[in-house]
Every structure is written in structure tokens, then in C-alpha cells.
Structure 1
């Protein structure tokens, strides 16, 4: 079974992580990606299946979890799958938003992108330039060792562990679908990189996935990296660049049966939860590119309990 054919989610590539388990049912197309943590099976991205198979696939997933004495928590469920989950006794809350950019006729013109143009110009004046691994830079173990070194420096400066589950990976030289663009300094030394992975479904393209840079990288290093990647994708005819999910960025009213404590917690974390995730600065970075679509994504619990949130925080290494 080629699982990507069932994915219609901007961040759906993350569901294919080899660290995930995949729930499937004989004679039913599609799958549910999940990991076990504590008392829960935590699924990612909803039900990846044709519309007419989703209800039965979800029903059997919930049944098997119950038989295994596990509860289900679903994260990053798209808005169009909320009615699917409403068929079952679930609590549904907004968790954050996905940001997407149409590449058709995209350019850096306009007052809104003035600061972005300035950042890119700063990077160019500092002698920075961008290459792609596998094109201008060798796709080998030595190159990937440099990427991991940059990532380790980045994490050390942030004094954080590498997050898990709802975040991308650097990958390996053997992978064929992940694309990595690297910013080099004037001495041709790598100082930062961005990984891009395929996005399938109604808005096909790429997901701007994992970003890392050295703490002393000049201003504009990552903006230059992304614009060069964006321009190459645009020249290849790619339709969409998805900037992915940012937690705690919620704008729309909650559904009537939402958990009110969870709703208040998410909004509090947006304002004060930088220790867990810098949502405000991440959203600001994405918005300055001139985003065309902001779509809410949901967290769904059976039930949405304190233990469910605790298991999610442990799984993602947010604690």
C-alpha cells in the first residue's frame, strides 16, 4: 500500500515517519498514524483515507484502542474532518493553525514585504548564498554530519531538547523525497538549513518543515534560504508552499461542545507559553511571507482530559 495516496493534509508527510505505527483494516483503504504514550494512542492528522472509508476506519481504531485499554487523542485534525469525529462521543478543541502560501505569481513586491526584502538584502550583503543538497552540495554522510552539528548548536543555544512527533526530521542521505536547502557564508561554510517535504491532496506542493541555524548566523540567513528554495520550487511549477502548523494560534470561535478549560489554556499559552513553544514569533515569521490561507487544526479527545494533555506533552518532549 502506498500510504501517501491517502494523505490530504499540509503536514501529512509527518504521518509517514518510521517512528509512527499505522493502523489499517483489511479491505479498507487508508490508515491512521499514531504513537502510544502512557494511557493513550495519539494519532496524527486525522484519518488518512478516502471519504467513504473514514468512518469505519475510525470506528475500528477506537474499538481496538478500547480493547487494548487505551484512550485516543487525535492532534492536528483538519477542519474538514471535524464532522467525521463528531459522529463519536468526542471533545473537539482548536489547537493551532496551519499557514499556506500559493506560489502562483508569487513575488516579494509590496509594502507588506518590505521588512522581508530588507532581511534578504542584509544576508546577501553579508556574502551569504544558498545551495540545495543533492544539486549544488553533495548528498553524503559528511554533509549530513554538518547539518546535525548545526542542529545541535541551535538546540544548545535554546537550552531545549529536540521536539518529537509533531515536528520534522533531518533525515538521511538515503531519503529521496526530503529536500534540504543550506545557507553558506562567504567562506562556503554551512550556517543554517531548511528541510522541505512533499505535501499531497487538494493543495499539493511542499511543507517548509525543519529550520535550524547557528546562533551567530547573520540576520536574514533563513529568509534568504527560504526565498531561494521558494523560487526554485516556483520555477518547477510547484503550486503551494505550506509553512505548517503553529500551536496556540487560534482565531475562530470554539465549537459548542469544546472543553472550555482547554480553550482558555491554549489562549494563555499563546501569550505566555514561550517556554513550551514560541508561537507568536513563529506565526510572525510565517505571516511576513504574505500567507494566502490560515486553516485551524484541532485536538480531539475521547475524552480530552488532563492525562491526555500530559501524555501529549511527554510524547512531544515539551516538558
Structure 2
């Protein structure tokens, strides 16, 4: 048990720090909060020391540690902790910081990224604005008083320094957070001193951040909650939640891809590999859910990805995770395959559109329904437009990739507003993996457009995910690319093609939420000035799909709340609906 019998001393720079040490195994460094000491975290120390080598350090001027002559700052405390670890030859550690200690840990992650492999930030904030005014106003008042007292009693400057820690920014910006690659768990109290919005923003800026809200806790008792201890232990020993990004360990990225290629039946399943997703991994069964968090709503990209026989078990785990964190749960662009299972688990659903599907064995250019596409392709043929496939995994070509990027940039400029994402992908040439790239050139060799296809059903089908062409491209460029790509895939044994999601087509015609269905149908019929729902539908319809598959919004709630609606829109269009309005006006 933490106490005087475990007290030790370490000299660093101009001061001597007090620390406590116990246990064996992976090293866990505990950093307490403002005006505290390590003994105040004894319950956490005692619990974790059963499993790990735990070191708790009294910060400069706190507990038994000396103050030194320098004014306190988060940066100085971080320097002290790093120097302490170097002195004790501690590396590749797990850092757990509470309150201001969390801010110190964040500073360590930013300035000394090689020290820790994992961090737990308990009730922390990356700048002073994250602290609620309920705390900041009294702190400002006390600071004014202490400034006066300090003139009479100079030693009170130490107290003033501690108060300044609450009111001063820590030199950490949003850009600094985005550069941090450490695996981080953010724990927030249900009734915290930190704004929840601030904590959520912090979790989204950090590449590998996972956030839990501990029910029944406040800023004070969160460090003595058994639930807090269990979640920390789980985080240290397991990697249940990761956020996919360019610095993710290759083994983990392969793990996600393997799940997708083995179980990803939804046409957009492959998009879970994109960088705007977080993952929940099943404990008892293999499976993942790819999601983002908006306004405390977990928005999932398509269906959960797991074996059909394991869907119920996986959903139980995932629902439990959401409830533990007081998250609402909604899945968007969901196929019919698991719909009955979702319904049996208490989900409501509403049809939100249809996917244009092509069974290659029954699809060709014959007939009146596909006459427009046939005419466009004939026009492209007369102009001598040729279609080829770029295979970056076989041989990289910087010129081709530069052309693709150039077309993408021109396309973005033409949008004049927010770009849709989450259920729509990009070229992703840095990590092409299983994507296929088809492009068209004119007789002079100029690239006129390209289409990126992503696999579903283990590669037995491909979705035309990204279609781009240069401004003023001749008629038939995209049509010929898609036709040639589909025919090549058919010759290789691929069974299905997809032109993707047509939002709000026949919305509400098959679902349990009558009112929401009516609202979605009204939007489709009357708000094409905001988004071209009908134009998008007809652009897919002209290819004469062999069938249209229904897609659904599935939500774990009795009613479809405005917050769920907002979260869906924000996830798909992070810039908000106003950006779509601005884009239309321009």
C-alpha cells in the first residue's frame, strides 16, 4: 500500500522529487492533478500495482517534492517527468495523468513522443478554455487576491503559480494534437469540470484517441471508481478501439482489411479502411464496427462486419459499449442482410435510399433502358477515347498519379463548398490496397477522367466509388470507363458491380418509422436545390441496373431524434448543411 514505506527520492536539475514505486511488469507512470499528491491516487496505485510496475511521482512543489525557483507550468512539469524517467531508465511506458496531470501527459506526448506507448488522460483539457467557468471564475478571483497577498508574503507565490496553471494555456494547439501518434484513452467524468464538447474535440484531433465517459462519476471521484480502474486495465492489455490512420501498425491495418475481405458484404464495407473512421473490435467474437462520434452519437458506416452467426453477439458488445459511454447509436447505408437481426435486437429502421446493382451475367448494352449510355460510349469511341487500368501495386507511375491528383483538385475547386465523406471514399493512392483504378485518355494522351473501384463480398463485386473527369470532358468518358471496367471484371470472374447509393430514392417505403420516412421523401421531392438527389438517381438509372437494393438507417432508439439526424448529416458532410447551400448558390 502506498505510504512512507514506499517513499523514494530522485534528484533532477535543481530539485528533488518524491516518488512511490511498487509492482512488476509493464511500467505505469501516475501523474496527479493540481494541488494534489501521489497519495491521493493511492486506490489507483494499489489496484494497478497488482498487475504492473507502478511509479507515482509528486510533481514539483506538490506533496514531498521540492518547488525550485521556476514558476510552475505544464511544460516545466512535463520536462521534470521526462527527466525523471531518463534518470530511472524508464521507456516505452504507459502514462496515466489525472486533471492537470493529464495535461502534463499530453504535453509529454507532444514534445517527447518516444517516451510512452500508451497514455490515459483522465478529466484533462488541452487548453484553459476547456475548463468550465464554474472553476475559472473562482480561480480568477483567488488569483487577484493572491497577487495582493504575495506582495506581503512572498512565499505565497507557490500557491499563485498553481492557480495560474488553471488559467494559462499550455502551448498545445490543435495542430500539435494532430501530430500525436501515441495510443491515448480519454476518460471523462459524467459530471466533469471540463466541457464535454472540449473533450470530444480533443479526441477527434488526436489520431489514436478513444474516449469513455464513466457513469456515476464527477471530477473528484473518477480516480477512485472501480469502473475507471477496469477500463484502464482493459485499455492497457487490449486494443479494442483504434482509429485508422497512416501511422497505424501494419498488423492492425491488415487485421481490419482481413475482416472486410472476409465478412464485408455491404458495398461500402471497404470504406472502413479510410482515415475518418474509428473501430470497435469484438471481444468474444470476431467483428468490427467502423464509426465516428458526433454530438455524442455513434454513427456507423454501413453494417457491422462479422460472420452472420456472430452478429447478435457482436451487437450486444457494441451496444454495451455505447450505453456505457451514454452514446446514441445509428448505422447508415445498411443493407437488408442483417435487417431482421437488428430488428430483433431492438433497433428501429427506415429506408433511406437504394443501391444500383449489376449482375454481370445479365447485364449488357442492349435495350432501350440503356440507350443513353450506349450512345455516350459510341460518341467516345468516335473520338478515339481509350480506357486503361492503372495497377499501382504492380508498378508505380508518378505521371499517372499526378494526373489523377490534378483531376481531383479541379473537381474539388468546382464544388465551392463542403465535400461529402464517411460513406464516400477517395483515390487513396498512398494506400491503394485492393482498389482498382481505370482511366480514359484522348488521342493526344491527355487523361480525361478516372474511376476508382472498391471490392465487396470478398472481391466478388466492385463498387464504382470515385468518378472524376476534367471540366469540359467529352460525352461518354465516364460511361466508357465504367463499361470497360465492368467487362474486364466480368472476364475475371467477378459477379457483381455497383454504381453506389442513390440517397432518399423511395425513402420510407419499407421501414418501421412512418413519420421519418415521410420527411425523407419530402426532402427528396422538394429539396433538390440543396442536394441533387434526383439527378444522382437518374445518373445511375441510365446504366439500367439489373436490380436496386434497399438501404436503411438503423438506430437503437425508440424514436429518431433531431440529434441523430444532425449527427448523420455532420458525419457525411463535416462542413455542415450550409456548405451545400453555399455550393448550390455558387
Fold match by TM threshold 0.5: yes
Aligned residue for 2:464?
Answer: 208
Q: Following the alignment from structure 1 to structure 2, what is the Cα–Cα distance between the partners of residues 289 and 71?
A: 38
Alignment-derived partner of residue 232 in structure 1: 488
Unaligned runs of 5+ in 2: 1-254, 578-586
The answer to whether the Cα contact below 8 Å between 2:438 and 2:485 also exists between their aligned partners in 1 is: yes
> How many angstroms apart in 2 are the aligned matches of 1:224 and 1:194?
10
The answer to whether the 8 Å contact 2:508/2:514 transfers is no
CA distance 1:167–1:174, change in 2 (3 Å): closer
- Give the one of 520, 523, 527 matched to 1:266: 520
Cα distance in 2 between the residues matched to 1:145 and 1:69: 45
1:239-280 per-residue CA deviation (whole Å, 9 max, x = no partner) reads: 11111211111267333x3150x2122112222333553222
Q: Is the 8 A contact 2:507 2:521 kept in 1?
A: no
Q: Deviations over 1:278-299 (max 9, x none)?
A: 2222222222222112111110
Q: Which residue of 1 aligns with 2:303?
A: 46
**Equivalent in 289, 292, 314 of residue 57 of structure 1:** 314
- Give 2:550's aligned residue: 296
In structure 2, the partner of 1:191 is 448
8 Å CA contact 2:384–2:442 kept in 1: the answer is yes
Asked if residue 285 in structure 1 is aligned to residue 512 in structure 2, the reply is: no
Structure of higher RCO (CA pairs closer than 8 Å, 6+ residues apart): 1
CA RMSD of aligned residues (A): 2.2
Q: How is 1:167-178 mapped onto 2 (pairs within 5 angstroms)?
A: 167-178=424-435
For 2:526 and 2:397, the matched residues in 1 are separated by: 41
Could you tell me how far apart the structure 2 residues matched to 1:221 and 1:163 are? 23
Q: What's the CA shift string for 1:122-159, capped at 9, x where partnerless?
A: 12222322111128x96334422321221221232232
List aligned pairs for 1:25-36, cutoff 5 A. Answer: 25-36=282-293
- Aligned counterparts of 1:314 and 1:65: Cα–Cα separation in 2: 19
Partner Cα separation in structure 2 for residue 271 and residue 138 of structure 1: 47
Q: Secondary structure at the match of 2:543?
A: coil
Structure 1, gaps ≥5 residues long: none
Q: Quote the residue 2:234 is aligned against.
A: none
CA–CA separation in structure 2 for the residues paired with 1:109 and 1:235: 18
TM-score under structure 2 normalisation? Answer: 0.51
After superposition, the C-alpha distances for 1:168-215 in whole angstroms (9 at most, x for unaligned) are 2101154231111111122111121110111116x9221111111112
Which residue number corresponds to residue 244 of structure 1?
500
* Change in 2 beyond 3 A, CA 1:193/1:270: same
SS of equivalent to 1:290: coil
The 3-state SS of whatever aligns with 1:111 is coil
Distance 1:253 1:259, change over 3 A: closer
Are 2:560 and 1:310 aligned? no
Q: 1:128 to 1:272 in 2, by over 3 A?
A: farther
Higher helix share: 2
Structure with max Cα Rg: 2
> Does the aligned pair in 2 maintain the 1:139–1:173 contact within 8 Å?
no
- Report the Cα distance in structure 2 between the residues aligned to 1:166 and 1:55, rounded to whole angstroms: 24
The TM-score, its normalising length taken from structure 1, stands at 0.91
1:121-140 pair list within 5 angstroms: 121-134=378-391, 139-140=396-397
**2:273 — aligned with what?**
16
Contact 1:180/1:194 (8 A) holds in 2: yes
Tell me if 1:220 matches 2:476.
yes
Distance 2:375 2:413 in 1: 29
Matched residue SS, 1:116: helix
Preserved contact between residue 387 and residue 484 of structure 2 (Cα < 8 Å) = yes
| CA distance, structure 1, for counterparts of residue 288 and residue 564 of structure 2 | 22
Deviation, 1:88, is 3.4
Deviation of residue 105 (structure 1)? 5.2
1:155 touches 1:161 (CA, 8 Å); kept in 2? no
Cα distance in structure 1, aligned partners of 2:526 and 2:481: 30
